[in-house]
Amino acid sequence: MPKPPGPPPPAEAAHIGSATMTADGTLYLYLRAEGPGGIIGDSLFVYKPMDPTYRDILKHLGPIRPGESVPVRPWPDG
């Protein structure tokens, strides 16, 4: 008789923080990382529309408009 499957592996964190877009298009990313032994790190990243990585950040976040906030998914490794 086959053995029943065990529990699924731990899921990757669904979200690592939130992003808010201001009226001028500036993105504020509030991110959190947690590590072994209860280590916690909070960070704030600010991206203005003229920032060279702005479009990449928008692409990762998905749809967001001025005045809105959205959850931030983890970035793929690599």
Task: Quote the CA–CA distance of 53 and 59 in Å, as a whole number.
Answer: 10
**Reported pTM:** 0.78
Task: Quote the CA–CA distance of 66 and 46 in Å, as a whole number.
Answer: 14
11: Cα within 13 Å, side-chain hemisphere: 5
pLDDT in tens, 19-44: 999 999 999 999 999 889 999 999 99
Under a CB-based contact definition with an 8 Å cutoff, are residues 29 and 19 in contact?
yes
Q: Domain locations in the chain?
A: 17-70
Considering only CA atoms, which of 65, 49, 66 is closest in space to residue 57?
49
Average per-residue pLDDT for the chain = 87
pLDDT in tens, 1-10: 555 555 444 4
Provide the residue count of the chain. Answer: 78
